[in-house]
């Protein structure tokens, strides 16, 4: 959902996201209405796309970090589609974490405040979606570095962000009350950031080109995934062995 670089950081949007925690899903679905899909459609396809690459790489995603987990909307997909054995979710919003604990207590999960989180260095796959556009530019390097230290050598980080070159993504952020003040990252900025903390960039893919009323064209999206048209993009990177 959002994050802070440390407990002493001047950046702390926890109060803002606590305010939206109870109605987070409804608020997000309203912002996505133009696409004709809800948040689960996007979460399912993000994780499904990632899963195909993880399988090709031969990585067993036993330990998964959901960085900026919010109310835990991605957690079921990380278990059921990615094949996680254990998920740790971190966020700055205490209210969101409380909801995540209530909703996902039947799985091997741990949800904790970012202020209490110490990078373990044994995570197989780190995942975040729409987190870094909430982080002040001056704090993004530190945030990315913490994720780098969380991942084991040879592990990967799936960095999903909204594509500022896509009009639909820009419109959705503009009408979303918790995205209006966010500062999007271009794919080039994201790659430079991730490389600066030590990650090797494996690929950049773009997804979600066609809204629901053009769904019959979606079979083309895998063929166009390297063209910067989609509403979101994935930078998949790896911590060197």
Task: State pLDDT tens for residues 216-236.
Answer: 999 999 999 999 999 999 999
pLDDT of 152-167, one tens digit each? Answer: 999 999 999 999 998 8
On whether residue 4 sits in a domain, the answer given is no
Average pLDDT estimate for 128-151: 95
Buried/exposed 191-223: b ≥16 CB within 10 Å, e otherwise: bebbeebebeeeebbbbbbbbeeeeeeeeebee
> Would 29 be classed as within a structural domain?
yes
Residue 3 in any domain: the answer is no
Residue 21 has φ and ψ, to the nearest 5°, of -55, -50
Q: Does residue 211 fall inside a structural domain? A: yes
The token pair at 19 is 């305010």
What are the distances in angstroms from CA 119 to CA 87, 88, 126? Answer: 14, 11, 11
> What's 173's domain CATH number?
3.40.50.150
This prediction's pTM? 0.88
Whose CA is closest to 150, among 177, 176, 117, 128? 117
Total domains present in the chain = 1
| Structural domain range at position 215 | 14-238
């Amino acid at each position: 959902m959002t994050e802070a670089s440390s407990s002493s950081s001047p950046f702390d949007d926890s109060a803002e996201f606590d305010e939206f925690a109870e109605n987070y899903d409804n608020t997000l679905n309203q912002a996505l209405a133009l696409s004709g899909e809800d948040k689960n459609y996007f979460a399912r396809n993000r994780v499904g796309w990632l899963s195909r690459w993880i399988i090709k790489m031969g990585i067993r995603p036993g330990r998964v970090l959901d960085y900026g987990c919010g109310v835990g909307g991605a957690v079921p997909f990380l278990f059921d589609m990615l094949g996680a054995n254990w998920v740790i979710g971190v966020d700055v919003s205490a209210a969101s974490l409380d909801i995540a604990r209530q909703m996902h207590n039947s799985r091997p999960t741990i949800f904790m405040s970012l202020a209490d989180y110490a990078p373990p260095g044994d995570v197989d796959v780190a995942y975040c979606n729409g987190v870094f556009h909430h982080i002040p530019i001056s704090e993004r390097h530190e945030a990315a570095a913490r994720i780098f230290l969380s991942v084991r050598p040879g592990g990967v980080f799936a960095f999903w962000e909204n594509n500022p070159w896509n009009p639909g993504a820009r419109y959705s952020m503009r009408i979303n009350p918790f995205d209006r003040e966010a500062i999007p990252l271009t794919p080039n900025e994201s790659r430079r950031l991730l490389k600066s903390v030590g990650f090797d960039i494996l690929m950049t893919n773009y997804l979600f080109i066609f809204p629901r009323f053009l769904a019959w064209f979606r079979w083309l999206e895998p063929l166009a995934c390297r063209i910067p048209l989609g509403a979101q993009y994935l930078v998949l990177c790896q911590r060197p062995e």
